[in-house]
Structure 1
Amino acid sequence: MQARIRVTTDDARDRLRPLLTWLRAEDELRGRVELTGAAPAPGEMGAVADVLTVALGGGGAAAVLARSLTTWLRQQRSDTTIEITTDADGGRSVKVTAQRVADAEAVIKSVLDAERER
Structure 2
Amino acid sequence: MDAEIRLIGGNEKILIPSLWEWLRSERELRGRVDVIRGTPGEEDLGPALEALVVAVGSGGMATALVTALGTWLSSRGRGDVSITVKTDNGTVRVDAKGVRDALPLLQEVLRNAADEP
TM-score range with shorter-chain normalisation? 0.7 to 0.9
Contact conserved, 1:34 with 1:54, CA < 8 A, in 2? Answer: yes
Q: How many residues align?
A: 113
After TM superposition, the score normalised by the length of structure 1 is 0.83
Gaps of 5+ in 1: none
Please report the TM-score for the alignment, with normalisation by the length of structure 2.
0.84
1:104 to 90, 102, 105: 102
Question: Partners of 1:54 and 1:11 in 2: how far apart?
Answer: 21
User: For the aligned residues, what is the CA RMSD?
Assistant: 2.2
Q: Structure 1 vs Structure 2: percent identity of aligned residues?
A: 35
* Superposed displacement of residue 47, structure 1: 5.2
Segments of 4+ in structure 1 off by > 6 A?
A: none
Structure 2 unmatched runs, 5+: 41-45
Task: Please state if 1:16 is matched with 2:16.
Answer: yes
Q: Which residue of 2 aligns with 1:80?
A: 81
Q: Equivalents in 2 of 1:13, 1:109: separation in Å?
A: 27
Distance (Å, rounded) in 1 between the aligned partners of 2:10 and 2:112? 30
AA paired with 2:86? T
The structural deviation recorded for 1:95 is 0.6
Conserved in 1, the CA contact under 8 Å of 2:36 and 2:53?
yes
Letter in 2 for 1:113: R
